[in-house]
Amino acid sequence: MRKPTIRRGVALAGAAVLVAGLTAACGGDSDASQSKLGKDDVLTITTFSDFGYDKLIEEWNADPERPFTVKATKIADWDPWKKTLTQDLQAGHGLTDVIAVEGDSMPQFLADGASDQFADLSDSSIEDRWVEYAYKAGQTADGKQIGYPTDAGPEAFCYRADLFAEAGLPTDREEVKAIFESWDSYFAAGEDFVKKMPKTKWYDSSGSIAQAMLNQAEFPFQTEDNEVDLENDEVKLVWDTVTKYTPTLSPRVVQWGEDWTANFTNNGFATMPCPGWMFSNIKSSAPDVKGWDIVDAFPGGGGNWGGSYLAVPMQSEHQEEAKQLAAWLTDKDQELAAFEAAGNYPANVEAQEELAAQKVTDPYFNDAPTAEILATRAAAVTPGRPYKGDKYSDILGLFQTAIQRVDEGGSPNDSWQTFVQAVESLS
Helix (H) or strand (E) holding 163: helix 161-166
Q: Please give the pLDDT value at position 348.
A: 97
pTM, rounded to two decimals: 0.84
∠ Cα 78 381 392 (to 5°): 40
Instruction: Provide the pLDDT confidence category of residue 11 given band limits of 50, 70 and 90.
Output: very low
pLDDT tens digits for 187-224? 999 999 999 999 999 999 999 999 999 999 999 999 99
Strands (E), 140-260: 148-149, 155-160, 201-203
pLDDT category, 384, cuts 50, 70, 90?
Answer: confident
Q: What is the pLDDT of residue 34?
A: 52
Distance CA 420, CA 229 (A): 10
The four Cα atoms 284, 288, 294, 299 give a dihedral, to 10 degrees, of -70
Say how far apart CA 373 and CA 156 lie, in whole Å. Answer: 7
How much is the pLDDT for 33?
47
Q: Please tell me the predicted confidence (pLDDT) of residue 23.
A: 41
pLDDT of 76-102, one tens digit each? 889 899 999 999 999 999 999 999 999
pLDDT score recorded for residue 79: 87
DSSP 236-288: HHHHHHHHHHHHHH-----TTSHHHHHTTTTT-EEEEEEETTHHHHHHHH-TT
pLDDT band at 306 (very low <50, low <70, confident <90, very high): confident
Task: Tell which residue, 100, 95, 72, has the closest CA to residue 84.
Answer: 95
Q: Distance (Å, rounded) from C-alpha 19 to C-alpha 412? A: 33
> Helix, strand, or coil here: 86?
helix
What per-residue confidence (pLDDT) applies to 15? 39
Q: Across residues 147-171, what is the average pLDDT?
A: 97
| Structural domains of the chain, ranges and CATH numbers in brackets | 3-152+306-358 (3.40.190.10), 155-301+385-424 (3.40.190.10)
Q: Tell me the pLDDT tens digit for each residue of 367-383.
A: 999 989 998 999 999 98
Per-residue confidence (pLDDT) for residue 407, from 0 to 100: 97
Tens digits of per-residue pLDDT, 319-349? Answer: 999 999 999 999 999 999 999 888 899 999 9
The answer to whether 43 and 16 are in contact (CB under 8 A) is no
What pLDDT is recorded for position 112?
Answer: 80
Distance CA 280, CA 343 (A): 6
Task: Quote helix, strand, coil % in the chain, to nearest 5.
Answer: 45, 15, 40
pLDDT given for residue 21 in this prediction = 44
pLDDT at 25 over 60: no
Tens of pLDDT, residue by residue over 233-284, are 999 999 999 999 999 999 999 999 999 999 999 999 999 999 988 998 899 9
Residue 77, SS3? coil
Per the CB < 8 A criterion, the answer to whether 277 and 51 are in contact is no
CA distance 60 to 377: 32
Give residue 49's region: left, alpha or beta (phi > 0; psi -120 to 50).
left
The pLDDT value recorded for residue 31 is: 43
Question: Rounded mean pLDDT of the chain?
Answer: 91
DSSP H helices, 286-411, are 319-329, 332-342, 349-358, 370-379, 392-407
CB 346 within 8 A of CB 355: yes
Distances (CA, A) of 54 to 67, 72, 344: 19, 8, 14
At 40-70, the pLDDT tens digits run 899 999 999 889 999 999 999 999 999 999 9
